Amino acid sequence: MTNDVNRQWLLMKRPEGNIRKDDFRLTESPIPAPAQGQVLVRNLWLSFDPTQSGWMRRDTYIPIIPLGEVMRAASVGQVIESKHPDYKVGELVQGAFGWQDYIATDGAGFLPMRRLPADMPPNLALSLFGITGPTAYFGVLDVGQVKPGETFVVSGAAGATGSVAGQIAKLKGCRVIGTAGGKAKCEWLKEELGFDAVIDYQSENVGSRLSEFCPDGIDVFFDNVGGIVLNEVLARLKLRARIVLCGAISRYNDSTPAPGPANYGNLIVTRSRMEGFIILDYAARFPEAIGALAGWLKAGSLKQREDVAVGLENAPDTLVRLFTGQNFGKQLLKIAEPL
């Protein structure tokens, strides 16, 4: 059954500090009709990504979401009407369809619409084979340039990106240390994913544990979090270390920018490199990453975890989970089954 209205979550306010449900408003409007060159997509799954906080607040690598518009999100949907020469009714597609049941679109945008491979489940298309898997892959291999025998530290290690980054570094022969919040996540990293050591940043002293686990220093740091962990790592770099600036979620909801890390001067002493990257720049090389990730997954040498919420009405609460550490694995939301 399809709904006969289009439920839409609109962005109504710029968040002040943490994201709140009342930054959004749920409305209903008629299902749009596709124009020539467009398809009508029924949304099935939504991806939740920390970067959405930035999109709500300011221009980043893409423009800010205008107030009163549908909340932007990566998603998978099904074509239910087509006036586009390249798409047929029934096909599953992914793109940036936003927090709504339906969208009429020509597929253009910062995540151009593409068809899912025939055998790819929609959840995997948004998790391991969506943004976070390739981010881990290119961050570790291209930006981090890991080598066998190196000491690799990853923050946000139990998250969608961090857990894959740590496993890729292990597959490449590194000693891997992760930081994560809480006992359950730390146990999973050690027992299930085979991390060499973990630090619960909420209950342990990050600096002294890093000194204990990395007595000779750190070669590569894959940073998802920023803040205190980044500063403690900076104090413990080996010569020619690489810091992969993937994200800084501990800062995304700050109203004013926090001061920079005090230990940055050690980059000079150790001749190290600290480099940010945005995964969209790697779009042309996604098949390479997806091929490698699929191979490891099939061989059982890579594990991935998803955290699935249900119901479009729960979209704002689901986004908040990322910033309170409630998500355990890639945060998704299922809206509907394909027809």
Footprint on this chain of ligand NDP (rule: CB under 6 A): 49-51, 131-132, 135, 156, 158-162, 180-182, 185, 224-225, 246-250, 277-279, 322-323, 325, 327, 330
Minimal distance, residue 136 CB to ligand NDP, in Å: 8
Minimal distance, residue 140 CB to ligand NDP, in Å: 12
Q: Which is nearer to ligand NDP, 111 or 174 (CB)?
A: 111
Minimal distance, residue 71 CB to ligand NDP, in Å: 16
Minimal distance, residue 110 CB to ligand NDP, in Å: 12
Q: Which is nearer to ligand NDP, 40 or 180 (CB)?
A: 180
Q: Which is nearer to ligand NDP, 151 or 327 (CB)?
A: 327
| CA–CA separation, 9 and 151 (whole Å) | 44
Q: Which is nearer to ligand NDP, 29 or 205 (CB)?
A: 205
Minimal distance, residue 310 CB to ligand NDP, in Å: 18
Q: Could you tell me the end-to-end alpha-carbon distance of the chain, in angstroms, rounded to an integer?
A: 8
Q: Which is nearer to ligand NDP, 33 or 280 (CB)?
A: 280
Q: Which is nearer to ligand NDP, 51 or 100 (CB)?
A: 51
Minimal distance, residue 201 CB to ligand NDP, in Å: 6
Minimal distance, residue 116 CB to ligand NDP, in Å: 20
Q: Which is nearer to ligand NDP, 213 or 277 (CB)?
A: 277
Tell how strand 175-180 and strand 197-200 pair up: parallel
